[in-house]
Amino acid sequence: MKNKIFFAKNKAPKNANNRRGRLIIRNLPFTTNEEQLKEHFSKFGEINDVKLLRKPDGKLIGCGFVQFIVKQNAAKAIAHTSGKDFGGRSIVVDWAIPKNKYETIHTTREKEENISVKEENVEPIENQKEIKEVLSDDQNNEEKPKNVEDYLTLDTLKEESDNFVDFETTDIENDVKRKREDIDDNESVISTANKKRFKSHDVKEGLTVFFKNVSFSVNNDELKRFVKERFGPVYYALVCVDRLTEHSKGTAFVKFRDSSSVEACMSSSPEELTLNGSTMEPQMAIDKEVLDKNKDDKVIHKDNRNLYLIKEGVIIAGTAAANGVSVHDMNKRLELEQWKSQVLKNLNMFVARNRLIIHNLPANMDNKKLKDLFTKYTHPNAVLKVVVMRNLKKVDPNGVPISKEYAFVTFKQHEDALKALRSINNNPNIFNSNKRPIVAFSIENRLVLQARQRRIEKSKTCNPLFNKQSGTSSTVENKNKKFNTENNNKNNRSTALSKKKTADLPEFTGITAKE
């Protein structure tokens, strides 16, 4: 090995057309063998080759290859085994990439490293005969290259699977120069491939249909023939292929020659769209610019239901806020969060900005005591209304209905409600350390509120005294409207201000919501 010079072999894999169903499996147990690996994957289809990569000393490197005869079976194996347990380890299964594709995608620096000359310990060779003798001896002693070395993935170690061939010449400089020229040619090919593509206007013509759930085994010609026989003439059929693996993504585009064929395709039954066992789903192709714009609109969509407030005050196990919280309280909080998730699936439900709900109330807590509690942590004019919910069918010895141990507190401003929640929620110094207050923003039903408002309006209309005071009430309404507008502006400013004070919150405070 001392008198030898190596170059990385740069040739296309053998039988490339038959290797479309080849998979690479990483993170394999070091105790596995070819039989176990084949048995694990054979349930997805027929296998004709299994290889495990090994180091020069014969030890496994945790990587191997499985060759399926049918590419669709290989796709099924990826879906069912990647990320799953095998021999006590979570394996990663992916398509094997031919070495020439791997080298084309990599950067110029990496390609230069692959074909760089090992110059250390090179001694002059006197004649061609000596070279051939050395080569013949080494070929007898060394193991022949394996087909598995022609396949790589981006995460596979190159030194474990690269195949090297001997360099037979005395003119080293000329051959190195030729290798450098090949690199320059490859760079020009890559730069040409990366040029800006021609912008198509097919979508605007309304003749292009996008298909989902296309079978992985379908190619362009087969899809074009299938669509043409059923719906009419087409310009082209293009199966979407992954650029790296060259395998189908399960989607395709078809451009028809006339609109009647498009209508026939869009109105066809599922039976007419079944190809190779997969029922394709057609829809009109959308221009990329329109698609990007729709994505942007979704991003800037306004939260009209105040859903961000649902996270305010949530206590997560294992955090500082959960220290000292009883099991009873944590279970109750979990039940409430699950209930919120179910209720908010109804689009008519929203989170009120100015109304709180408080659980774990003591049985003797009434409206006045509760109002005093919230006033203590805000200011005297902050609370608008307090209602402790009671069971009217059950009363105590004094004839007072028994408390349901939860209540609603309505505030004039959102800032006061937020301040009260962060001060009282999960506070161990209020009520009982084993039964702390659970405070959250109330969830309201928009339809119920609208019905209530209609009843109020109807009551006003039927009230003769209200009609006499209509002139006075209009003036009051204008004042109230102005007052509400000012309050809304204050609320917006106070919300922004409250976000800046989150660092000053006590340790028992849970999650702080961000709009």
Most distant pair of Cα atoms in the chain: their distance: 122
Please write the tens of the pLDDT for every residue from 466-514. Answer: 765 555 555 545 545 444 544 454 444 444 444 445 556 777 777 776 6
Asked if the structure places residue 405 within a domain, the reply is yes
CB 71 within 8 A of CB 216: yes
435 secondary structure, DSSP code: B
| Distance from C-alpha of 263 to C-alpha of 265, rounded to nearest angstrom | 5
pLDDT of residue 209: 92
* Pair (285, 418) in one structural domain: no
Per-residue pLDDT for 35 more than 80? Answer: yes
Final residue of a structural domain among 289, 323, 353: 289
Domain extent for 173: 6-192
Count of CB atoms situated within 10 Å of the CB of 411: 24
> Are 214 and 173 contained in the same domain?
no
Residue 441 phi/psi, 5° resolution?
-70, 140
- Whether residue 122 sits in one domain with residue 209: no
Residue 346 and residue 138: Cα distance in Å, rounded? 75
Q: 484-487 contacts: CB < 8 A, separation 24 or more? A: 487/412, 487/413
Residue 413, domain member (yes or no): yes
Q: Measured between alpha carbons, how far is 352 from 368 in angstroms, rounded to an integer?
A: 23
Q: Are residues 253 and 312 in the same domain?
A: no
Q: Does any domain span residue 299?
A: no
CA 222, distance to chain mean position in Å, is 33
For residues 165 and 21, membership in a common domain is answered with yes
> Which residue, 88, 41, 85, 43, is CA-closest to 64?
41
Give domain status of residue 328, yes or no. yes
Question: Does residue 402 contact residue 390 with C-beta atoms inside 8 Å?
Answer: yes
Closest by CA position to 156, among listed 199, 98, 77, 226 = 98
Give the pLDDT band of residue 515 (cuts 50, 70, 90). Answer: low
Residues 42 and 126 in one domain: yes
Its sign, for the CA torsion 400, 402, 405, 407, is negative
Centroid of chain to Cα 434: 39
> Do the domain assignments include residue 376?
yes
The CA angle 461-462-463, to the nearest 5 degrees, is 95
Query: How do residues 422-477 score in pLDDT, each as one tens digit?
Result: 999 989 888 887 889 999 999 999 999 999 999 999 888 888 777 655 555 555 45
Q: Report d(CA 223, CA 250) in Å as an integer.
A: 12
Residue 78, domain member (yes or no): yes
Which range of 152-161, 178-187, 198-207, 259-268 scores highest in mean pLDDT? It is 259-268
Q: C-alpha angle 65/66/69, rounded to 5°?
A: 145
The CB density around residue 134, as the number of other CB atoms within 10 Å, is: 17
Query: What is the C-alpha to C-alpha distance for residues 4 and 39, in angstroms, rounded to an integer?
Result: 41
Does 231 score more than 80 pLDDT? Answer: yes
If asked whether residues 388 and 253 sit together in one domain, one would say no
Residue 424 tokens, joined: 């009282």
CATH of residue 317: 3.30.70.330
Cα–Cα distance between 72 and 95 in angstroms, integer?
A: 12
How far apart are the C-alpha atoms of 153 and 492, rounded to whole Å? 53
Q: What is the pLDDT of residues 335-388, one digit of tens each?
A: 999 999 899 989 899 999 999 999 999 988 899 999 999 999 999 899 999 999
- Determine contact, residues 93/81, Cβ cutoff 8 Å: yes
* Same domain (yes/no): 315, 421: yes
CA-CA distance, 7 to 473, in Å (whole number)? 94
What is the DSSP code string of 400-446? Answer: PEEEEEEEEEEESSHHHHHHHHHHHTT-TTSSBTTB--EEEEEEEEH
DSSP string covering 375-386: HHTS-TTSEEEE
What is the predicted pLDDT for the residue at 503? 52
The domain boundary residue, chosen from 161, 192, 223: 192
Q: Could you tell me how many residues make up the chain?
A: 515
**Better pLDDT: 201 or 397:** 397
Do residues 174 and 208 both lie within one domain? Answer: no
- Phi and psi torsions of 152, nearest 5°: -140, 160
Those residues with Cβ within 8 angstroms of residue 242's Cβ, 6 or more apart along the chain or in another chain: 248, 249
pTM over 0.85: no
Give domain status of residue 173, yes or no. yes
> What is the model's pLDDT at position 413?
93
Q: Quick check: 159 pLDDT over 90?
A: no
The string of pLDDT tens digits covering residues 56-99 is 888 888 999 999 998 888 888 998 898 888 988 889 999 888 77
pLDDT, tens digit, for every residue of 92-130? 999 888 777 666 665 544 555 454 444 444 444 444 444
Query: CB neighbours (10 Å) of residue 465?
Result: 7
Q: In terms of domains, do 360 and 382 share one?
A: yes
Same domain, 75 and 182: yes
| Residue 58, φ and ψ in degrees, nearest 5 | 95, -5
Contacts 24+ apart (CB under 8 A), 376-380: 377/419, 377/420, 377/423, 377/424, 378/411, 378/416, 378/419, 378/420, 379/416
Task: Indicate the DSSP class of residue 273.
Answer: G
Beta bridge partners of 432: 435
Number of H helices, E strands in the chain: 16, 20
CB neighbour list of residue 342: distance below 8 Å, 6 or more residues apart: none
Is 82 in the same domain as 186?
yes
* Total domains, the chain: 3
Give the closest residue to 249 by CA, choosing from 226, 277, 215: 215
For residue 131, being part of any structural domain is answered with: yes
Sorted by sequence, the CB contacts under 8 Å of residue 176 that are 6+ apart come out as 117
Task: State yes or no: pLDDT of 18 exceeds 80.
Answer: no
Last residue of a domain, one of 135, 170, 192: 192
| pLDDT for the residue 192 | 44
Average confidence score pLDDT of the chain? 75
